[in-house]
Structure 1
Amino acid sequence: MFNSKADKPPRKYRISRRQPPSLSSLPDEIVVKCLALVPRSYHLSLSWVSKNIRSLVRSSEFEGLRSIPHKSSLYVCFQEDDITSHWFTLRPTEETATTGTEYRLVPNPIPFSPHKYGSSTVVVGSNIYFIGGGGSRQPSTDLWILDTQSGNITQGPSMSVPREKAEAAVGVIDGKIYVIGGGVSDYERFHEEIQVEVYDLKSETWKLAGMEKVRKTSRCSAAVERKIYMVEFEEINVYNPRKCERKRLALMVSQRLEKGGRKDMLSDTELCVCVVEDVLYAFFDRSGIMWFNTKLNVWRRLLGPDGEELPFILHAEAMAEYDDGKLVVFYILRDKDVRCMLVSLHRAGDMICGTVDWSGSVGTVPYSSNFLHCLAVSN
C-alpha cells in the first residue's frame, strides 16, 4: 500500500480506471446499422439488453435496414430416372390481398451444364463444388466447380483418394474444404482409419490431413462453429481441424432429447441436415425438426414461440437456409406434389423457437423424380 506521493508507482504501471467504450456511447444511427448486422434469430435477445436497444430494434429505421433483400438464391435439383437433372430456384410470387405471398419453384434461368450430380456438394459464395462420386457407382477423385452466375462448370484438381457417390462428409472452414471418408469401402470398415483431405480455395490445391478413426462417415454433414458435424443414426462424429493430431475427431453417442432423456433415431432414408446462422438442424423421423445444442451436446425440438408443436410433417427430404435466416423444409407427397414450409427462427436465451410463415405447394415433379440437392448460394 502506498502512503505518499513518493510511493506512487510510475505512470506506466498505474492501472487505468477508464471505462471501455460501449455501444451506447455511439450515435443511434451508427448503433442501428450495427444491430442490423445481427442475425434475425437474436432480435428477441437484443431487446432485453436495454430500453434504448429495445426501442432501436423496434424502430422503423431498423426495419428499413432489415428489409433490404438478402442477396442469395436457393437452388433445388431433382434427378429424373437417375439420369437427367433439373434445376429450380425458389421464388416468391406476387403478393395478393387474399392469399399473401406465395412461393413457387421456377426453372433456373441459366441452364447448368450437364454433370454427374450425385457427388457430395458444398457451397462457397456463388460456386457449387461437386466432390467425388457422380453418376456412376464407381468412386472418383474428381472435383467440379459450378459457377451459378454464368452456368459454367470447370474441372478442378483431382483428389488423392477416390470417394464414393455422395458418401463423403464435407464442410468449409476458414477458406478450406474438408472431405472426410467416402472411400471405396469406408462404410463397411467400422472403427478403421479413413483419410481426410483438404482443398485450399486460395491456392487451389489438395492436401492430405491425416487418418481418423470413425464408425461411419455420413453424407449428412455440415460445418458449425468451425467444426464438421457428421450426423448418422444414434451418433454424431465431430471433426475439429484446430485440435492437435489424434484429438481432432470426437464421437458423441448420446442423442437424448430435451425432455424425458429418451433416445431417438434418425431415419436413414429421409435423413437431412442443414445449418442456419451457425446452428445445426436435422429432421428426425419420429420427432420432426430438431436443433443441436453444441454446449450440452443434446438435440432439442424446434417448438413454436408458446411452446406448442410445429405442424407435423411425415418426412423431410431437403432443408436449407433461405431469405436471411429462415429455415426452408421440402417434402414430396405421393402424387409428386412438392411441398414447402418456411420457418422464421427466434432465439430466446438458450432456446430457439420457430414460427411457420408460409406452407404450401411449390410445384409438381414427374413420378420418377427425387430430390438430389438443396443449396443456398450467395449472389
Structure 2
Amino acid sequence: MSSSSEEKKLKQQNPTPTLPDEILRSCIAKLSKLYYPTLSLVSKSFRSLLASPELYIARSLSGHTESCLYVCLESSSGSRWFTLCLKPDKNKDDVSKNKNKKSYVLSKVPTLHSPPAVFSGLVSVGSDIYNIRSSSNVSVLDCRSHTWRKAPSLPLQLMALSACVVDEKIYVAGIHGESLKNSSKVLDTRKSSWNHVVSIPCRMTRRGVLNMVSVCVDGKPHVATDGRVVCYDSEGGKWDVGKTKMGSFWFSDSYCGVENVLYSVYNGKFRWYDGEVNVWRGVEGLVGMPKFLPGVSVRLCDYGGKMIVVWDENMLSSGENKIWCAEIELERRGGSEIWGEVEWIDHVLTVPIGYYIVKALSVTV
C-alpha cells in the first residue's frame, strides 16, 4: 500500500477532532469580550457562536460579565458603531519586548441599518443601547447579538429631548413641538412601557428652550437648560431646583457621571462636581493626557467605575481624522480631591475627515 493511501486511511479512521459547542462556549465565555471581534474572524461558526444567547447566559452564570465600550460616529452617509477590542499581536518581536503592553482598536460593529443618532438621545441599560429620537421612534441595539429592535415609541414627539438612566428607567425631558411646553416621560425598560412624569414647571426654565442635557447624579435625574438645573424627586413626584453651582456643564457634550460624581471637560481641563462639595474642582494627576484645544470633540463615559475618554485629532494634510481613547482610574482623596491615573492611551481608529464622535457608551455583557 502506498504512503498516500495509508495517510488517507488514517485520516478516515481518526478524523480531525472538534470540540462540542457546549465546551467551546464554556471556554469562550471566560474570555474578555475585548477578544471577541478578533475571534469573529476565525469562521462563520465562531461568529454565530459569539452572537448566540446561550454564550451570554454562560457568561452571566460564570460571573464573567464586564463593561464594554461602544462609540457612535456620524457622517453624511449615516451613523456607524464601533466597539473597543484588543489589537491582535502581529509582530512577535514587539510582543516579547513589551509583554505587558496592550494595544487597543475600535472595531466596526457588524450591524445593518443603524438609525441616525444624537448625543442627548443615546443611553445604555444593561447590554442594550437605546436610541431615542425626536420623531418619537425608539430603537435598541442589542450589544450581544449586534442587532436592532424596536421599542415602544414615545407617546408624543419632543423637540430638543435629552435622556438619562436611573435604576433601569430612562427619564426623557423635552419640549413638545406644538405647544413649546416642557414635557417628561419615563420608559421602564423592565416592563417595556412608557409612563407619565410631571412636567418641569415653566417657572424653572425658559419657555421653548432648545438646549437640554440630562445626567444622573446622587440617584436622581438632573436636567439642565440654559444654565439652570432641576432634579426629579421620584418619591415626591415633583421637580426641584438643583444645586446652583452645578449648571456650568450644560452647554457641553463632554460630560458623564461616575459613581455619583459629575465629570466635565471645560476649556481643555477635566473638572468634577458632586452635591456634597457643591463646587467644580479640577481633577488632579492625569499624567499623559493632552490639553484639548477648542474644536476638539471629547466624549466621556462611565466604564465600570472608571472613566473612558474619546477624542478626535483632525489631520488636515492627509484628510484623515484620528480617534484616540484613554482609560482613567479615579481615586478620591479626602473630601475635596479626585485624582486620575491614566491606565492607557491609544490611537484606536482612523476615519476620513467629516466623521464626528456622537457619543461613547458602556454596556454590561
> If the length of structure 1 is used for normalisation, what is the TM-score?
0.66
Distance in 1, matches of 2:329 and 2:257, equals: 14
State the one-letter code of the partner of 1:183: H
Partner of 1:313: 292
- State the secondary structure of the residue aligned to 1:145: strand
C-alpha distance in 2 between matches for 1:244 and 1:309: 45
Cα distance, 1:117 vs structure 2:
2.5
Whose helix fraction is larger, Structure 1's or Structure 2's? 2
Letter in 2 for 1:367: I
| Contact 2:73–2:356 (CA under 8 A) maintained in structure 1 | yes
Q: Is the 8 A contact 1:169 1:182 kept in 2?
A: no
Q: Residue in 1 aligned with 2:50? A: none
Query: For the structure 1 residues 142 and 196, does the alpha-carbon distance in structure 2 shift closer, same or farther, using more than 3 Å as the test?
Result: same
Is this contact kept in 2: 1:171–1:177, CA < 8 A?
yes
1:90 corresponds to 2:84: yes
Q: Deviation at 1:72?
A: 2.0
Q: Counterpart in 1 of 2:35?
A: none
Give yes or no for the alignment of 1:291 onto 2:272.
Answer: yes
Aligned residues: 282
> Quick one: structure 1 residues 255 and 212, their matched pair in 2 at CA, closer, same or farther if it must change by over 3 Å?
closer
Match of 2:36 in 1: none
Deviation, structure 1 residue 197: 0.7
- What are the superposed Cα offsets for residues 245-275 of structure 1, whole Å, 9 maximum, x if unpaired? 3xx231444359xxxxxxxx5584x532112
Q: 1:333 corresponds to which residue?
A: 313
1:279 positional shift: 2.1
Deviation at 1:278, TM superposition (A): 3.1
Pairing of 1:120-159 with structure 2 (within 5 A):
120-133=121-134, 140-159=135-154
State whether structure 2 residue 163 is matched by structure 1 residue 170: yes
- Aligned twin of 1:377: 363
1:1-379 → structure 2 map (5 Å cutoff): 71-81=66-76, 83-93=77-87, 94=89, 96=95, 97-98=97-98, 100-108=101-109, 110-118=110-118, 120-133=121-134, 140-164=135-159, 167-184=160-177, 193-213=181-201, 214-215=205-206, 216=209, 218-231=211-224, 234-245=227-238, 248-254=239-245, 268=251, 271-284=253-266, 286=267, 288-304=269-285, 311-314=290-293, 315-322=296-303, 324-335=304-315, 336-350=321-335, 351-379=337-365
The whole-number CA distance in structure 2 between the counterparts of 1:274 and 1:157 is: 26
Shift of 1:370: 0.9
Query: What residue identity is the alignment partner of 1:293?
Result: D
Q: Secondary structure at the match of 1:254?
A: helix
C-alpha separation between the residues in 1 aligned to 2:75 and 2:187?
Answer: 31
In the alignment, which residue of structure 2 is the partner of 1:41? none
CA apart distance, 1:218: 4.8
Q: RMSD over aligned Cα, in angstroms?
A: 2.9
Matching residue's letter, 1:242: E
Distance 1:267 1:333, change over 3 A: farther
What residue ranges of structure 2 are gaps of 5+ in the alignment?
Answer: 1-62, 316-320
**Larger strand share, 1 or 2:** 2
Q: CA deviation at 1:152?
A: 2.3
Tell me: CA distance 1:316–1:345, structure 2 relative to 1, closer, same or farther (3 Å).
Answer: farther
Provide Cα deviations, 1:74-101, integer angstroms capped at 9, x if missing partner.
11111121x3222111223358434822
For the 8 Å contact 1:120–1:219, the answer to whether it is kept is: no
Structure 1 vs Structure 2: percent identity of aligned residues? 26
SS at 1:332's partner residue?
strand
Distance 2:301 2:137 in 1: 25
3-state DSSP class of the match of 2:292? coil
Aligned-partner Cα distance in 1 for 2:258–2:112:
26
Q: Is the 8 A contact 1:179 1:198 kept in 2?
A: yes
Matches of 1:273 and 1:293, distance apart in 2: 13
Contact 2:117 2:133 (C-alpha < 8 Å) held by counterparts: no
Verify the 8 A CA contact 1:170 1:219 in the aligned structure 2. no
Classify 1:149/1:368 alpha carbon distance in 2 versus 1 (closer, same or farther; 3 Å): same
Is the CA contact (8 Å cut-off) linking 1:302 and 1:310 kept in structure 2? no
- Measured against aligned partners, the alpha-carbon deviations of 1:270-319 in whole angstroms (never above 9, x if no partner) come to 532112233221111x25111112113211111118xx896422244211
Name the SS of the counterpart of 1:373 in structure 2: strand
What letter corresponds to residue 152 of structure 1 in structure 2? T
CA 1:182–1:364: 2 relative to 1, 3 Å: farther
Q: CA distance change for structure 1 residues 371 and 203 in 2, over 3 Å: closer, same or farther?
A: same
Amino acid at match of 1:281: Y
Contact 2:268–2:292 (8 Å) recurs in 1: no
Aligned-residue offset at 1:146: 1.9
Query: Cα 1:253–1:217, aligned 2, differ >3 Å: closer, same or farther?
Result: farther
Instruction: State the AA in 1 paired with 2:177.
Output: V
Query: Please, which moves more after superposition, 111-120 or 327-336?
Result: 111-120
Separation in 2, partners of 1:334, 1:185: 40
